[in-house]
Structure 1
Amino acid sequence: MHTLAIVVTVVAALWVGFSAFSLLRRAAWVVEPLTEYGVPRSWWPRLGVAKAAGAVGLLVGLAVPVVGVLAAVGLVLYFTGAVITVLRARAYGHVVFPTLYLVPVVAALTLGLVG
């Protein structure tokens, strides 16, 4: 189980890190929906940094488990908020996108708590 937890955590961290990078680089496929959902531009840098910090926290958690758990909990809250934001914007077809980030983080958290 330990190896699985490490692999899932690293994949989740890389996936969330990619999301952070894409937001910080203001990739059109990321920022256009944020505009549509009504997320203020002034929030974008902080949201990107929060995701990046969470990704780093997941990796640090491989050595310091409490940091990984806290990072995972933070990311679960972040992506749950993203799902709620999409639902409030009534962009129901887009709910899958934040969920694609939420699921691996939940898996990493679950495996981290079980292991």
Structure 2
Amino acid sequence: MYEAYQIVAVLTILANAVIAILDFCKANFVLQNSAAVDVPESWIPWLAALKAAGATGLLLGLLGVPYVGTAAAVGLVVFFIGAVLTHIRAKAISTIGAPVAYLALAVATLTLGLV
């Protein structure tokens, strides 16, 4: 079971690290999606920092600090629940797939980490 956790955690780390970098670079699709859900552009670096912190915390969990990894997984779950709710509130259903996928990764990582 630990191998499954490692695989899912690495996928979650990579996914969040990549999107955090794209957020920091203010990729065009990031700006478009943020505008579509009424998230101000000034929030993007802060949201990117939260994603990067989550990825870093998960990495620390894999490197032997399990409580930090668990806290990071919880943080990512809460973050992406907020992202999904933001998309629902804005009725931006066509772009809800990415936050749902990130939420699924975070939930899987948290679940496997607790098992």
TM-score (norm 1): 0.95
Name the count of aligned residue pairs: 114
TM-score (norm 2): 0.95
1:19-98 to 2 correspondences below 5 Å: 19-62=19-62, 63-98=64-99
Separation of aligned partners in 2, 1:47 and 1:94: 17
Separation of aligned partners in 2, 1:7 and 1:113: 15
Deviating above 4 A after TM superposition, structure 1's stretches of 4 or more consecutive aligned residues are: none
Gaps in structure 2 of 5+ consecutive residues: none
Shift of 1:96: 1.1
Over the aligned positions, Cα root-mean-square deviation in angstroms equals: 0.8
- 2:12 is aligned to 12
Quick one: which amino acid aligns to residue 34 of structure 2?
L
Gaps in structure 1 of 5+ consecutive residues: none
Quick one: which amino acid aligns to residue 74 of structure 1?
G
Identity %: 46
